Amino acid sequence: LNDNPSHYKITLSGTMKSPKINFDPPFLMLTPVPLDVKTETTINIIPQDYFRQSRIQVELPELELEDGDKIYPFSVQFPEGRDIVLSSDGRNEELICHISFTSSRPVSFLGNMFFIDAEEN
């Protein structure tokens, strides 16, 4: 601007997208099984609008039985890893998650599993 008194005004606008994850299927219903028999299923985790790598953590529910004992009958595995990465075409790659349930005690449960990214979303 070198001693030029003119003023310049720059206006910027944009849209910010918050990262999110979707699930296929969107809810999970495991079939009843006898005690100590594992039931399992696979879900696809579909990340959207992640512009940097993140890692998925899972909070599994703790179940309290009638006698006060607490059990963790669910387990999860990510056979191809739990990192959300950006593919070469700019999209986020899907993650595969195996969810299983086994219990030596009779139990019925309706609740949530929480999938949390590195930013605690």
pLDDT tier for residue 88 given thresholds of 50, 70 and 90: confident
Pick the CATH number of 21-116 from 3.30.310, 2.40.128, 2.60.40, 2.60.98: 2.60.40
pTM: 0.78
- Is the pLDDT reported for residue 11 higher than 90? no
Measured CA to CA, the distance from residue 104 to residue 56 in angstroms comes to 29
Residues 6+ apart with CB under 8 A from 56: 21, 45, 78, 82, 83, 84, 95, 115, 116, 117
Residues 61-82 have pLDDT tens digits of 999 888 889 999 999 999 999 9
